[in-house]
Structures are given as C-alpha cells and as structure tokens.
Amino acid sequence: MRVYRMAERNIGIEALHERVHARCAEYRVEAAPDFVVRTAPADIDRERENSAREDRLEGRPVVPWHDEYLEELAVYRQIAEKMPAYDTFLFHGSAVAVDGWGYLFAAKSGTGKSTHARLWQQLLGDRFTYVNDDKPLVRITDQAAVVYGTPYDGKHHLSSNIAVPLRALCLLQRGAENSIRPISAREAFPRLMQQVYCPEDREAFARTMGLLQELTRQVRFYELSCNMDIEAARVAFQAMAPSGS
C-alpha cells in the first residue's frame, strides 16, 4: 500500500496496476492512512460498464479503455465516496487560482470551461495557477470553502498540489457576446447538482447535500455567457475578483 495526501487526508491505495500510483506520485506521503481504498477486478468491470453507458447515452462510439485507466477511475470513485465523511466533495469543473483566490468554472462537457480557464492564464500570466482543470476536491470549513488540486486533472494534466479558498463559482454557457451576472444559490443549485459527485452510499450522499448547502453560504455564484476571445476572461475576472485586482 502507498499513501497519498489529498484535501488534508492521507489515503492508502492498494491497486492492481502501477498506473494509478504513477498518476498520484506527486501526492505521495509517508504517513498512516486515514482510510484505504482497494480495487478488485469487479471495480474495473464496473467502470467499463459505466463508461460504455455514458458513451451510448451521448451517442458516441464505445471506447475500449484499458484496465489501467479504468482502475484509476475506480480509485477516484472510491475516494469520492469516502470524502464526504471529511466535509469534502468532488466537483466536476475547472478550478484556477489568481492572487491566492480560487475560482471554479462549471458547465456541461464540451461547453468550453477548460478553454475559458486557458484564457484566464493568457490574461493574468504569472498571477494565474491551475488548481485542477477537471475534478478538484472542495472542502467545507467553518471559515471558507477550500478547493484542492488532485492528480485527477483532465486530459491535459493541468493541476497543482495546492489549496486555495474558493471565492466564486461560475456557471458557463456559450454566447456571442461576453456578459456575466451574479446569480442566487437557488438559481445555481440545479446546475451544481449536475456537476457534483453524488455518492451511491446514502449517508455520504446526505452529507454531500449538507456540504452543498454550506457552499451556497460561503461562495458567490455567477453565470457567464462567453465566447472564446480573451475579452471573455477580462469580463469574468473583473466581475468576480476583489475590487482593485
């Protein structure tokens, strides 16, 4: 077993293949685990079925993934099932940091959240850091929601092993012009639910709902209509960053 630290937890991983360890290498620690995840061939088969089901739903050809890759997914799923017990949930979105503040972009797949994050990088240069471009963890504390880099960072592997307080969560949609408006938690909630990991375990699911309630008290929500011009990043950043940024 090797132990990795993500979102303030030491996670023991016992895997069948080496690849998941390679993915997580940067997060390795020598410590006793808070919990352990183990994969069995059945977990890999289940990921294969899930992936095929999603492909069919989206009308794509079914991709024959290798076991190594499917095991990586199985491991993160098990981590996501455990994390609500530690006030943490997995969120599908692109998380970035600027001047020490976290911003999380969420949208349906294919809308362009990663493209938008890249525009922020172009606009802000050295002030910008990727936290996790695909599946960050978010931990709720008494003071703030904190977004964490993890090794599960999308196809371009854009992430850093850092934690930043989450300032805003921005729901993206494509538009001809660039415009942004603050929205209420009530308005944001149905779309948040589409991007948050919903555990299969009832207890973990109920905890996740409680964490989302907390999130709505700690974070500002925005809806951004944007195109792919750098102006989109300017409009979004100016609206969400502390004044004077």
Partner 1 sequence: MNTLKDMILTEIEGEWYAVPVGEAAKRFSGMIRMNKTGKRIFELLMEGKDQDGVVKELMEEYEVDEATARSNVGDFIGKLKGAGVL
User: Residues in the site for partner 1, rule: CB under 8 A?
Assistant: 184-186, 189-190, 193, 198-202, 205-206, 209-210, 212-213, 216
CB of 35 closer than 8 Å to CB of 4: no
Min dist. Cβ of residue 82 to partner 1 (A): 16
Give me the half-sphere count of Cα atoms (radius 13 Å) on the Cβ side of residue 102. 27
Measured from the CB atom, the residue of 18 and 55 that comes closer to partner 1 is 55
Other residues' Cβ atoms within 10 Å of the Cβ of residue 210 = 13
Measured from the CB atom, the residue of 155 and 202 that comes closer to partner 1 is 202
Min dist. Cβ of residue 185 to partner 1 (A): 5
Where do the H-state alpha helices sit in the chain?
Answer: 19-24, 41-57, 67-82, 113-124, 185-195, 202-218, 230-240
User: Which backbone phi and psi does 119 adopt, to 5 degrees?
Assistant: -65, -40
Measured from the CB atom, the residue of 185 and 228 that comes closer to partner 1 is 185
Measured from the CB atom, the residue of 125 and 190 that comes closer to partner 1 is 190
Look at the block and give the residue holding tokens 């012009």. 177
SS3 178: coil
Distance of alpha carbon 174 from alpha carbon 228, whole angstroms: 9
Min dist. Cβ of residue 30 to partner 1 (A): 36
CA 79 and chain centroid, separation = 13
Measured from the CB atom, the residue of 144 and 185 that comes closer to partner 1 is 185
Min dist. Cβ of residue 18 to partner 1 (A): 32
Min dist. Cβ of residue 215 to partner 1 (A): 10
Look at the block and give the residue holding tokens 């969560």. 169
Min dist. Cβ of residue 208 to partner 1 (A): 9
Measured from the CB atom, the residue of 143 and 184 that comes closer to partner 1 is 184
